[in-house]
Amino acid sequence: MILQGKVIMISGGASGIGQACALAYAQEGAIVVIIDKDTTALHTMQALLPGPHSLLQADVAKGAEVEQAMKTILQNHGRLDAIHNNAGVAQPSKPLHETTEEEWELVMQVNVKSIYHTTRYGIAALRDSRGCILNTSSLVGEIGQDNHAAYAGSKGAVNALTKAMALDYASWGIRVNAVAPAGVWTPMLRQWSTEQPNTAQIEQYLDQIHALGYCPGTAEIADVCSFLLSEKARFITGCIMPVSGGAELGYKHLA
């Protein structure tokens, strides 16, 4: 078990990629602390992650709530070995000029400023443990995506932050990396695909953009995240790790 004894905090860990990561970390021997604002999803996770794991209701876009969550983690577990900044929003599906100020602010608060909050209030504990930080980014932070300007921009910021933070904290023995999927079959993506005019064509497209020929589930992402948080990745920092089946080699288009 490559994460044996580590205390790992993951934001947005009650559903989707975050849920798969939380379960994988626990399976690898970690004590997992999920921070999520979705109380219904947290309730579901309680049955999947009983003690010694912890589930905290908090909005990572709000600094005071993150500060309190970090205090609770240290009170309950005595240490913190890793922060996985996974919480994120992908909306709106619009070009930049159609994006409202409220939509822009929400994307940046959740996808970018939350990393500021968890780092500000968690860095002292990570310095004590010589721990690590993992950010959930996206391939679109590198290659762009039509009709998702705010989202792509936020993930580009996540990538830049990852590299800058890796340099800032290397002298403390803290590694900082990011994982960058392309498409991933989460409940959110399944729902989105059913709302498209040609559902079958959308599913085929999502398979074909990946050079390996299929759109992955969350387990493929969780496996790589477990590795990056483990000592097996002890000499990796500042890496934006694509877990994309080769999609960065060129998106394919349906004929």
Please report, for the domain that includes residue 54, its CATH number.
3.40.50.720
Helix axes 39-48, 16-27, angle to 10 degrees: 30
pLDDT at residue 218, rounded to an integer: 96
- Please say whether the beta carbons of 131 and 174 come within 8 A: yes
**189 located within any domain:** no
* CA 225 to chain CA mean position, Å: 9
**206 located within any domain:** no
**16 located within any domain:** yes
- The residues annotated as belonging to the active site are 151
**197 located within any domain:** no
Taking the model in full, what pTM does it have? 0.94
* Residue ranges for the chain with pLDDT beneath 50: 254-255
pLDDT at residue 199, rounded to an integer: 78
**59 located within any domain:** yes
3-state secondary structure of 230: coil
Q: In total, how many domains does the chain have?
A: 1
**255 located within any domain:** no
Of 135, 183, 175, residue with least CA distance to 159: 135
pLDDT, one tens digit per residue, over 47-98 is: 999 889 999 999 999 999 999 999 999 999 999 999 999 999 988 889 999 9
DSSP string for residues in 136-204: E--THHHH--TT-HHHHHHHHHHHHHHHHHHHHHGGGT-EEEEEEES----HHHHHHHHTSS-HHHHHH
**198 located within any domain:** no
pLDDT at residue 255, rounded to an integer: 45
pLDDT at residue 251, rounded to an integer: 54
Range of the domain at 230: 7-183+218-248
pLDDT at residue 165, rounded to an integer: 98
**64 located within any domain:** yes
